[in-house]
Amino acid sequence: KVLWAARLARLDFSRQTGKLASKLHCWSKNDDRRMKRMAEYMNSTVDYKLRGFLCDAPEDLELWLFADADLSSDPDTTKSTSGAFIVLVGPSTWIPLAWICAKQTSTARSTAEAESVSMVTALLSEGYPILNMLELIFGRKITLRLKEDNTATIKVLQKGYSPKLRH
């Protein structure tokens, strides 16, 4: 049931639920403590809700994709975690459509690399498919705005190349 809630309505459960689910084959007393802490958090945040509002015409809407990553957050594997949040936005509209929280498949050597992998993952797995679906529904081109908070990654994107990220 927790996995269902994390997937459909409570994105704040996603990371911890995924981490605990990956430990089922090698559960420890520490994981019992993590599970208890998560249950306590869930009980204390019962009133949290995912909300959206739609008050604009279809021609005023655009798609925003927020991508983020942390560097080597998993102490066991030193792999980073990708996160993304995709929202339909207008002057008076905010509709959350999808989110991602997943461990990266390779070990990043820098924050910019982890952020870049997160952006590509978000664009390919959720961003472009949702963009194509909305363009089909609305019968027009939709603007996709990529939101990034890491300055080094933004500079790499503007430049188009980084010798440090050349693999």
Is residue 167 pLDDT above 60, yes or no? Answer: no
Q: Is 0.85 topped by the overall pTM?
A: no
- Interval 126-138 mean pLDDT: 95
Q: What percent of the chain has pLDDT over 70?
A: 98
- pLDDT score, position 97: 93
Q: What mean pLDDT is reported for the chain?
A: 87
Neighbours of 103 (CB within 10 A): 15
Please tell me the distance from the alpha carbon of residue 124 to that of residue 129, in angstroms, as a whole number. Answer: 7
Q: Read out DSSP for 2-34?
A: HHHHHHHT-GGGHHHHHHHHTTGGG--HHHHHH
Backbone angles phi and psi of 22, in degrees to 5: -75, -10
Assigned token pair, 22? 């990956």
SS3 content of the chain, % helix, strand, coil (to 5): 50, 20, 30
What residues contact 147, with CB distance under 8 A and at least 6 apart? 64, 65, 66, 67
Assigned token pair, 53? 């509002």
pLDDT tens-digit profile of 3-41? 777 777 777 887 788 888 888 888 989 989 989 999 899
Is residue 145 pLDDT above 90, yes or no? Answer: yes
Between CA 57 and CA 62, with CA 58 as vertex, the angle to 5 degrees is 115
> Confidence class of residue 85 from pLDDT cuts 50, 70 and 90?
very high
